[in-house]
């Protein structure tokens, strides 16, 4: 069995001892993947039929799921049209904003040599689930037609 000394272990982990570029590798990689996805959705219009699959829930039941209109919303955001993005899926726009803020906090903490430290407790998870449920129910009511994609 090979023994690993403390100096080798310290050199292989990514923590406060690692350089800034190494600590930013994962957040940078994630940014590249998300930017690529947004670039694709910005280039291939989801408003044109045949480019993306139809939502199975919408096809089978006629009900809008919380994600319906999310691609159209992302397409509108890429093209700088915030009003259309909010009309297509306001929940997605809010989610994009929250994830962008969490990513920025992650980068700042990585530059400072701290762990990301994101912990969602039961209150956060229940609140997220309840708000998603309320959004879904309201957008499927006759009075919630302003939330239809």
Q: C-alpha dihedral over 53, 55, 58, 61, to 10 degrees?
A: 100
Give the C-alpha distances (Å, rounded to integers) separating 54 from 50, 64, 89, 130, 149: 9, 11, 15, 25, 13
- Per the structure, the complete domain to which residue 125 belongs is given by 18-147
pTM of the model: 0.79
The Cβ of residue 7 has, within 10 Å, a number of other Cβ atoms equal to 8
Local mean pLDDT, 10-residue blocks, the chain (149 residues) = 53 59 90 96 91 90 93 95 94 94 91 81 94 94 87
Examine residue 34 and state whether it is found in any structural domain, yes or no: yes
Look at residue 112 and tell me if it is in a domain.
Answer: yes
| Alpha carbon distance 31, 138 (integer Å) | 33
Domain assignment present for 125: yes
Residue 13 lies in a domain: no
88 falls within a domain? yes
Would 109 be classed as within a structural domain? yes
Total tally of structural domains belonging to the chain: 1
Residue 66 token pair: 């919380």
Instruction: List pLDDT tens digits, range 35-74.
Output: 999 999 999 999 888 888 888 999 999 999 999 999 999 9
Establish if 61 belongs to a structural domain.
Answer: yes
CA distance 89 to 80: 15
9 inside domain = no
């Amino acid at each position: 069995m090979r023994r690993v000394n403390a100096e080798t272990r310290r050199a292989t982990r990514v923590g406060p001892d690692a350089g800034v570029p190494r600590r930013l590798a994962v957040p940078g990689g994630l940014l590249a993947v998300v930017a690529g996805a947004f670039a694709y959705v910005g280039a291939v219009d989801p408003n044109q039929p045949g480019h993306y699959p139809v939502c199975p829930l919408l096809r089978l039941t006629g009900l809008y799921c919380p994600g319906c209109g999310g691609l159209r919303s992302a397409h509108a955001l890429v093209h700088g049209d915030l009003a259309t993005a909010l009309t297509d899926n306001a929940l997605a726009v809010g989610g994009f904003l929250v994830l962008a803020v969490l990513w920025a906090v992650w980068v700042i903490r990585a530059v400072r040599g701290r762990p990301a430290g994101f912990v969602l407790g039961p209150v956060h998870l229940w609140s997220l689930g309840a708000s998603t449920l309320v959004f879904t129910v309201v957008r499927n009511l006759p009075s919630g037609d302003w939330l239809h994609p």
